[in-house]
Amino acid sequence: MECYLDNSATTKCLPEVVEAVTNCMTENYGNPSSMHLKGVEAEKIMRSAKETIAKTLKVDAKEIFFTSGGTESDNWAVLQSARAAKRDGMHVITTKIEHAAILNPMKQLEKEGFEVTYLGTDEYGRISLEELKNAIRPDTVLVSVMGVNNEIGTVEPVAEAGELIKKCNPKTLFHVDGVQMYGKLPIYPKRMKIDMLSVSGHKIHGPKGIGILYISEKVKITPLILGGGQQKGMRSGTDNVPGIAGFAKAAEILCANMEEDAEKMSALRDLFLTEVTKLEGVTANGPAKCRITAITENANAENSNTETAADSTVIPAAPHIASISVEGVRAEVLLHALEEKGVYVSAGSACASNKPAISETLKAIGLKKELLDSTIRFSLSIFTTEEEIRYAVASVHCTLRHRILQRRIASRCIRTFPVRPGEGTSYCHRFPAGVTYDSFLPSCKK
């Protein structure tokens, strides 16, 4: 059985998305900058896509700019907005648990002379609004906070943060990395006082290589990429019409069924965490339960309740991300053991590289040192079924039983010795006198 539970890394394209992309590659393949009919047709597709996406965010289509994905959107928002506001101040704020697409541009700003304040989190990965309030200064030009943490699924209080930022310093811009939030939970920039929002297509069952940056018409920002002047000179480069069409179709479908899909995924996530944490040595990271209704009501409220957001008893979780730590088992070992059973997961963020590193998020939430390299992420999608969840739990259980068996065999042996004299790389076990492997194995399974 194949069980794909790495949907925070990338998702399977919807059939409707594949159809939209194919159409723009084989039929309406013109360059939207061309003045002939083929170009006009492509330009119409692009304009319609902008309107579709803008509608899901309740913003104006002219505030939507297409990019190559979440990383470009994040870089553009952070670097160019801060540089444009340099005369007003050189202080920016972010969190310790951001994606590398935010943290690395922040490091670049530091090299350019900006001062960066990194907010901490509680044990669930949620920022403190009080700490944010105390960090905002007259010279703070930008605050960037992710909507949903990509590793442990914590939903940050972005609506409350937006309200707070504008009260403390109306000139401070607010950027949200919405890559793991858009299409799963409601996010409305104008209502939440978000000035810039980054989104990626392949996280919502759309194609790779396409994303958007919402930029409020009130924001002063300069282009990151210069060239032929496409998208009103704000983002040059030949427009990726197939990607744009596919992104719009995915956004339309997911946002239309968002609440229903979120309820389904949250129930499966809760089922997974309930069952898997029954296993010896397995603990969950981040919020334990999803609260989709509470999140939706807060997003739809005209004014955010900062008191509720600050209440540590209300820790909302995204419906699609579950993080667990397994005592005594390295994440990479468990990942490949599950892969052999057809279960596909990731160790931390798969967006950074295929070389796992100790997660800044796990360190920020205060995870025990011995568990930092023993944590894996399971992430669901609209296609995930209960059968897959139960199979994944059974696969984790089977893998851990095998590991326990191996440790018991090793601990009950008298000693080990080379299989062949002089070859120290291959070892076998020597059992006590009169004990064979077949008679020893049943006792280890107890």
CA 148 – CA 151 distance, rounded (Å): 9
CA 112 – CA 153 distance, rounded (Å): 32
State yes or no: is 351 an active-site residue. Answer: yes
Residue recorded with tokens 């089922």: 271
CA dist 1 → 255, 387, 389 (Å): 30, 10, 12
CA 214 – CA 231 distance, rounded (Å): 13
Instruction: List CB contacts of 158: < 8 A, sequence separation 6 or more.
Output: 145, 147, 176, 187, 192, 194
Q: Where are the alpha helices (DSSP H) in 241-326?
A: 241-256, 258-276, 292-300, 306-310
Residue in 158, 154, 134, 133 with CA at minimum distance from that of residue 144: 158
Question: β-strand 140-146 against 91-95: which pairing, if any?
Answer: parallel
CA 226 – CA 62 distance, rounded (Å): 19
CA 292 – CA 164 distance, rounded (Å): 23
CA 286 – CA 123 distance, rounded (Å): 7
Helix (H, G, I), strand (E, B) or coil at 60: coil
DSSP 69: S
Q: Using alpha carbons only, what angle is made at residue 388 by residues 385 and 390, rounded to the nearest 5 degrees?
A: 110
Catalytic residue among 255, 290, 351, 428: 351
Structure tokens at 23: 């159409």
Instruction: List CB contacts of 120: < 8 A, sequence separation 6 or more.
Output: 95, 96, 127, 128, 131, 364
Phi, psi of 21 (to 5 degrees): -65, -45
Burial class (CB in 10 A: 0-12, 13-18, 19+), 23: middle
Beta bridge partners of 377: 323, 346
Q: Using alpha carbons only, what angle is made at residue 396 by residues 395 and 397, rounded to the nearest 5 degrees?
A: 90
- 74, 352 Cβ separation under 8 angstroms: no
Active site residues: 351
